[in-house]
Structure 1
Amino acid sequence: MQAYHLKFNQNIPISLSAAWDFFSSPLNLQKITPPEMAFKVTSGLKAEDKMYAGMIITYKVSPMLGIKMDWMTEITHVEHEQYFIDEQRFGPYQFWHHQHHFKEIPGGVEMNDILTYGMPVGIIGRAVNKIYVANKIQQIFNYRTKKVIELFGSI
């Protein structure tokens, strides 16, 4: 099984508590995901709901060609204003482990994402990752960076 590792870093000119409030609200993920992915939380969560270890979140997403897919993640770890981790329980990947880390820095917050994922179906999955998925994930995080700058500015 092949595991892929990606790291993303962004500095945001807001307080740690403001960053945590925004990014720990599952519904805000829709605000920073490319619109063409038609990303929608289907768990029936409210805006004031905050994540906790053990929380299950379900989504509809169209990662390619407008094909809608179900995706389910579990928030497995939460350390208030430091980090949280989501892992896929059902969805398009063989596995998905996404760490979100937050650290106060002069003038704001450093946000680090560490993503480890695997593709199903062996050699075919590896080929699909090379041809499409790795680039698509990079595009999603590039879009997220732009949206976070639009929402909060940059350092």
Structure 2
Amino acid sequence: MPLIKLLTIIKADKNIVFDLSRSIDLHKTSTNHTNEEAIGGRTEGLIKINESVTWRAKHLGIYQILTTKITEFKRPEYFCDEMVKGAFKEFKHEHHFKEIKNGTLMTDHFEYISPLGILGKLADKIFLKKYMIDLLEKRNQTIKEFAESDKWKEIIK
């Protein structure tokens, strides 16, 4: 099971970073290159515990549908979303937030199992893990950009 761990330092209040991280609207902005759209469940605003969202997006040249659910939630320190339905065999994405001097340390733990057994493991090694890292890093850069400017006020009302 591949594990991706990303650390992002953001010069902003932990509450703002937490809310931006669970914003459906900001997620759409960070994934506009994949034509990602929320098509079911919570489709805008801030997702909460036990809520789900269904996404439609073009990844690796193929339109895919993925549903995730918020399974754990402790504001503003932590939340977890897990795949309910989609292309992966399973995935779990933990979001951790820690107040540090002059800002917030945001830590992502993303674990997944690819489908197709040995072929999925081969895909992980060749391209999938890097693809997922790039996607998560782009998302985190968008959160950072909004949190470190007044842009966050467009998202959190």
- TM-score when scaled to structure 1? 0.87
Greater CA deviation, 37-46 or 50-59?
37-46
Instruction: Show the 5 A alignment for 1:55-94.
Output: 55-65=51-61, 67-94=62-89
The answer to whether the Cα contact below 8 Å between 2:42 and 2:51 also exists between their aligned partners in 1 is no
Q: Are residues 1:101 and 2:96 paired?
A: yes
For structure 1, the residue ranges without an aligned partner over 5 or more in a row are: none
In the alignment of these two chains, the number of paired residues is: 149
Instruction: Show the 5 A alignment for 1:2-13.
Output: 3-13=1-11
CA shift for structure 1 position 127: 1.2
Greater CA deviation, 101-110 or 126-135?
126-135
Instruction: Show the 5 A alignment for 1:1-155.
Output: 3-33=1-31, 35-43=32-40, 45=42, 47=44, 49-65=45-61, 67-153=62-148
CA-based RMSD: 1.8
Instruction: Name segments (4+ residues, structure 1) moved above 3 Å.
Output: 44-47
CA shift for structure 1 position 40: 1.1
2:81 partner SS = strand
The answer to whether the Cα contact below 8 Å between 2:21 and 2:143 also exists between their aligned partners in 1 is no
Percent of matched pairs sharing the same residue: 24
Q: Cα 1:19–1:149, aligned 2, differ >3 Å: closer, same or farther?
A: closer
Kindly provide the CA deviation profile for residues 34-83 of structure 1, in whole angstroms up to 9, marking residues without a partner as x: x3321111126464x43222111100011111x21110001100001011
Q: Cα 1:23–1:41, aligned 2, differ >3 Å: closer, same or farther?
A: same
Q: Matches of 2:99 and 2:115 in 1, distance apart?
A: 37
The answer to whether the Cα contact below 8 Å between 1:27 and 1:45 also exists between their aligned partners in 2 is no
Q: Matches of 1:81 and 1:113 in 2, distance apart?
A: 14
1:76 corresponds to which letter in structure 2? T
Q: Matches of 2:49 and 2:138 in 1, distance apart?
A: 27
Kindly provide the CA deviation profile for residues 7-54 of structure 1, in whole angstroms up to 9, marking residues without a partner as x: 001011111121122112223211223x3321111126464x432221
